[in-house]
Amino acid sequence: MSLGDKFENKAENLGGKAKEAAGTATGDEQLRSEGKFDQVKAGLKDAGERVKDAAEDVADAAKRAFNR
């Protein structure tokens, strides 16, 4: 995962936490829900990037194994 992707996902997660907190503080259930959704979305993006990184690691290991 690139550093830019990590930064964007972290920023989206933090923004979601801020929205959730603001929604909770003001009693705005829609804003609170949007914040939770943003956090989940950021977490899914992180998970997808980790899977992609793992697949690349497996592909690299396979290349090394077959090139011996």
Identify the pLDDT of residue 31. Answer: 98
Domain residue spans of the chain: 3-66
The token pair that represents 53 in the structure block? 């990184």
Identify the pLDDT of residue 1. Answer: 64
Residues 6+ apart with CB under 8 A from 62: none
pLDDT tens digits along 16-59: 999 999 999 999 999 999 999 999 999 999 999 999 999 999 99
Identify the pLDDT of residue 42. Answer: 96
Identify the pLDDT of residue 58. Answer: 94
Residue 5 pLDDT > 90? no
At position 40, the amino acid (one-letter code) is V
Residues 6+ apart with CB under 8 A from 12: 38, 39, 41, 42, 45
